[in-house]
Amino acid sequence: MSIAIIGSGFSGLGAAIRLDEAGHRDFLVFERGNDVGGTWRDNTYPGAACDVPSHLYSYSFALNPDWTRSFSAQPEIEDYLRGVAQRANVLDRHVFGCEVRRTAWNPEKSHWELATAKGGYTADILIAGFGSLAEPSLPAIPGIESFAAAGGDLFHSAQWNHDTDLAGKRVAVIGTGASAIQIVPAIVDRVTHLGVYQRTAPWLLPRFDRAFTAPERWAFRNVPGYLRLARAGIYAGRETQVVGLAKNPNLMKGFELLSRAKIRREIKDPELRRRVTPNFRIGCKRMLISNDWYPALDRDHVDLITDGIQEIDGRRIVTADGTVREVDALVVATGFHVTDSPMFDTVCGADGASLTQKFADKGMRAYKGTTIAGYPNMFVLVGPNTGLGHSSMVYMIESQINYVVDAVTTMRRRGLRTVEVKQHALDSYNDRLQKALDGSVWMNGKCASWYLDAHGNNTTLWPDFTFRFRRQTRRFDIDAYETAPA
Ligand code: NAP
């Protein structure tokens, strides 16, 4: 094996397909789950759906005229990925149920050594497609471990326990992020009582979701160029948001007015309106889209609880104001380890340092979001500062894949054993990035978000138009790399 790919979500699977197409067929994909799909295989919570329109949230090389809705639900995206993998004939080079436990560069042998659940492997090139929203983050609430011990059902949104029947139960949901706002409306009719624990109110915009009509779907399939045109329209519309988010946050005012009007329209109770109104600038945290979140909060058997959770004592949740609420099931929709992924502990570079150690001083940094000095022949997909809050991650992933495929092609054409990004190229790239982020709403919008790391740096988001990222990753720029011949 020459190329090892970790993970088979949108990024790892996409890399496998594109490498295969380019004639680089000597890869293995290590996937800890039992199927492809990544986050879209794992997040099966009720109401799970995408916030980016389906025709943009799909591979450009595998457009899907058959999407049933403008915003796809999780099962349809999972099916899509499975279908794409089957048609591309890459499943024969997948090793499922195979967690990669440790990966280390061997400087003497100039290769990567992988310790996996199914034994040891070596690879010349490592493609890390383990994703950034893959490791659930559990809240460190004192006593939380006593909840399950007292017979309560507790699970993270990304690890939904479908054996638990919530019907007739008193349920608590912690968190009001993208996952929670989909879960709450989806379970509200089933439960006896729902307590929603909000730390920070999110900004919400309307969700323009609808089923495609039969003639539309016929046209997507049969009218030449129609599908691409629809996709381009969605792309362009989304891209305009960058101007407000990254360059001039004052331009986000219109979104804020829309969001305030939505609160007034969808909630009757003035006190509830006050508590759902965010206290930071719109866009600073991911803007959420929903038409049924506020109406769900306004229901009689739903309480929005804004006092912080002080402790959990068996089945009782105690908030800072001293109120005790007993519940039967607790859903923690508290997000993921993004800038502190436990996967970083498992990847060790030329000097033996793990990515966690490497990122300790300045946070996550990579060249073009993809390569890291000290980690030769390694390419990270969905790497540092490649994330988006407003458009399709699949577009960014495909840009990175272009870069990686061209890197592999270049290495093989030139007979190179190793490529390693030069430290100064990485440093100046990141200096430019951080400067570009200075004026963004993510840095100035007065919120705490998972976009920022422990140092207060934004090491997750791309601060510019996405076509600029596409342009800079079109070709592998070998001049930025130290190389060694085979
Ligand atoms: P998230 O956006 O990180 O939200 C986590 C929520 O939990 C926040 O409301 C947070 O409050 C709260 N929280 C975290 N720790 C807490 C604690 N100790 N005590 C109380 N509350 C706590 O996570 P997510 O909703 O799973 O979404 C993560 C990302 O996944 C999204 O931003 C998006 O990129 C993606 N996603 C997309 C979709 C979609 O396309 N529809 C759906 C789901 C997820 P604070 O705000 O105060 O931190």
In a domain, 231, yes or no: no
CA of 420 to the centre of ligand 1 (A): 35
456 and 344 belong to one structural domain:
yes
The verdict on residue 197 lying in a domain is yes
Q: Could you say which of 281, 301, 332 is where a domain stops?
A: 332
Q: Is 200 in the pocket of ligand 1 (CB under 6 A)?
A: yes
Range of the domain at 67: 3-134+338-485
Same domain assignment for residues 52 and 86: yes
Distance from the CA of 335 to the center of ligand 1, in angstroms?
4
Which atom, in ligand 1's list, is nearest to the CA of 178?
A: 25
Q: Which residues of 378-399 are buried (b: 16+ CB within 10 A; e: fewer)?
A: bbbbbbbbbbbbbbbbbbbbbb
CA nearest ligand 1 atom 23, residue? 335
Do residues 28 and 92 share a domain? yes
- The answer to whether residue 213 is domain-embedded is no
Q: Tell me, using a 6 A CB cutoff, whether residue 332 lines ligand 1.
A: no
Ligand 1, pocket-test mutation among 71, 179, 205, most atoms within 8 A of CB: 179
Q: What is the pTM of this model?
A: 0.97
Domain assignment present for residue 216? The answer is: no
**91 lies in some domain:** yes
143 lines ligand 1 (CB under 6 A): no
Enter the tokens of residue 331. 């859903």
Q: Are residues 193 and 124 both part of a single domain? A: no
Protein residue with its CA nearest to atom 31 in ligand 1: 178
Residue ending a domain, choose from 332, 347, 364: 332
CATH number of the domain at 19, please: 3.50.50.60
Residue identified by tokens 């929670």 is 180
Is the beta carbon of 39 within 6 A of some atom in ligand 1? no
- Domain co-membership, 349 together with 459: yes
Q: Are residues 257 and 364 in the same domain?
A: no
Whether 450 lines ligand 1, by a CB cut-off of 6 Å, is yes
Residue bearing the CA closest to ligand 1, atom 10: 175
Do 158 and 113 have their domain in common?
Answer: no
Domain count, the chain: 2
Best residue among 133, 173, 282, 287 to mutate for probing ligand 1's pocket (most ligand atoms within 8 Å of CB) is 133
Q: Is-contact 328 169, C-beta < 8 A?
A: yes
* Residue 174 Cα to ligand 1 middle (Å): 10
Q: Is residue 227 in contact with ligand 1, taking CB distance under 6 Å?
A: no
Going by alpha carbons, the residue nearest to atom 37 of ligand 1 is: 178
If asked whether residues 327 and 184 sit together in one domain, one would say yes
176 Cβ below 6 A of ligand 1: yes
477 shares its domain with 373: yes
Nearest CA to ligand 1 atom 15: 334
Q: What spacing in Å lies between the alpha carbon of 333 and ligand 1's midpoint?
A: 6
For residue 229, count other CB atoms closer than 10 A to its CB: 12
Residue 346 inside a domain? The answer is yes
Residue 305 inside a domain? The answer is yes
Gap from CA of 3 to ligand 1 centroid (Å): 34
The answer to whether residue 401 is domain-embedded is yes
Residue to mutate, 51, 334, 394, ligand 1, most ligand atoms under 8 Å from C-beta: 334
Residue 146 CA to ligand 1 center (angstroms) comes to 23
Same domain membership, residue 201 and residue 154 = yes
Report the phi/psi class of residue 193: left, alpha or beta, with left for phi > 0 and alpha for psi in -120 to 50: beta
Per-residue confidence in pLDDT tens, the chain, 486 aa: 699 999 999 999 999 999 999 999 999 999 999 999 999 999 999 999 999 999 999 999 999 999 999 999 999 999 999 999 999 999 999 999 999 999 999 999 999 999 999 999 999 999 999 999 999 999 999 999 999 999 999 999 999 999 999 999 999 999 999 999 999 999 999 999 999 999 999 999 999 999 999 999 999 999 999 999 999 999 999 999 999 999 999 999 999 999 999 999 999 999 999 999 999 999 999 999 999 999 999 999 999 999 999 999 999 999 999 999 999 999 999 999 999 999 999 999 999 999 999 999 999 999 999 999 999 999 999 999 999 989 999 999 999 999 999 999 999 999 999 999 999 999 999 999 999 999 999 999 999 999 999 999 999 999 999 999 999 999 999 999 999 999
pLDDT confidence of residue 1: 63
Residue whose CA is at the smallest distance from ligand 1 atom 43: 179
What is the best residue among 72, 74, 160, 199 to mutate for testing ligand 1's pocket, by most ligand atoms within 8 Å of CB? Answer: 199
Whether residues 345 and 406 share a domain: the answer is yes
Residue 88 sits in the same domain as residue 204: no
Q: Looking at ligand 1, which residue's alpha carbon is closest to its atom 21? A: 175
Domain end (from 279, 310, 332): 332
pLDDT of residue 389: 87
